[in-house]
Copies of this chain bind each other. A is one copy, B any other.
Amino acid sequence: MVSIGIDLGGTNIAVGAVSEEGALLSQVCVPTRSQRPYQDVVREMAACVRETLQKAQLPETALRSIGIGVPGAVDPVQGTVIGCSNIPWHGVPLRSEMQRYFSVPVFLENDATVAALAETVCGAAKGAGSCVMLTLGTGVGSGIILNGRPWNGAFRQGGEIGHMVLYPNGVPCACGRNGCVERYCSATALALRGKQACWAHPDSLILEKAGGDIEGITARMVMDAAKEGDAPALRAVSAFADALALTIDNIINFLDPEIIVLGGGVSRAGAFLLDAVLPRIPTTDRLDPRTLPSIVLAQLGSEAGVIGAAMLQ
């Protein structure tokens, strides 16, 4: 038996067949074209499910369940999409629409939660009873796993660590608050720090990596320049690491999960990121510093969305 995982994104839909052990057997990817009626999107999703099964040479009778990771708030009990940030869906009955094509159980979850579930079941947090995953990308997504199960809050609007306020009266955020975690800990925020550094220091290696185009600077260029010892880049990474360490410290004092997983674009900086962040997390007030949660890099990369969705139940 296999489960299908669907990673519904603002740009693409990835559909994969996943074994009970969490192995990705086959995958199909199509553009979301989210301005279409949702019924058309779901019809194409269903076609992709059939294609994915064919690629894995599996009959439809081998299909156990379909899980869908959604970039927004979902109601897994009602099977509806409450609302998304990058797709114009509000109150979409996604489960019942998908069940017009397949009679197997269909599960929905928020995509950041789905990625955390995948890392907990077969990735960096394998075997952990509790896990918080931060996805450091365009924004900061977060997924919470407690007692092995996703936790999305009583009103399905928890796990929004990206919109916790880190610096009151800080940088304005699209959510209406000022100083959100997302404005300091995302790839976007690190890129912005790189741009600011280059206005003050046009001789920075960051700007060289961007081919002289300040607006083309990415988080990766800042990290790469810092790895090579460029002083403005190192200062940008240092300020970024301060904010991320503060966020992680707050997560520990609130929830004290067994493992904290860092994913998303920024996490590709690897050990360099951990080396910058870990020494900034206070340990002196811990009753026993050895009991600090492990802080690790995500292992599953972009496949986490498909694998985690397939694991929903």
Listed in ascending order, the chain A residues whose CB lies under 8 Å from chain B are: 73, 82-83, 128-130, 144, 146-147, 151-161, 163-168, 175-177, 246, 249-258, 282, 284-288, 291-293
Residues in B neighbouring A292, C-beta threshold 8 A: 155
Residues in B neighbouring A293, C-beta threshold 8 A: 154-155
Number of copies: 2
Q: Which of B164, B258, B286 contacts A253 (CB under 8 A)?
A: B164
Contact A254 B256 (CB under 8 A): no
Residues in B neighbouring A177, C-beta threshold 8 A: 249, 282, 285
| Centre residue among A153, A154, A158, A163 by max chain B CB count within 10 A | A154
Contact A164 B250 (CB under 8 A): yes
Residues in B neighbouring A255, C-beta threshold 8 A: 144, 151, 153, 158, 254-255
Contact A168 B165 (CB under 8 A): no
**In the complex, A251→B250 CA distance in Å?**
11
Q: Which of B129, B165, B256 contacts A246 (CB under 8 A)?
A: B165
A-B CB contact pairs (8 Å), 30 listed: A130-B153, A146-B151, A151-B255, A153-B257, A154-B256, A154-B257, A155-B256, A155-B288, A155-B292, A156-B291, A157-B253, A158-B252, A158-B253, A158-B256, A158-B257, A159-B256, A160-B254, A160-B256, A161-B253, A163-B253, A163-B285, A164-B249, A164-B254, A175-B282, A175-B285, A176-B282, A177-B249, A251-B254, A254-B254, A254-B255
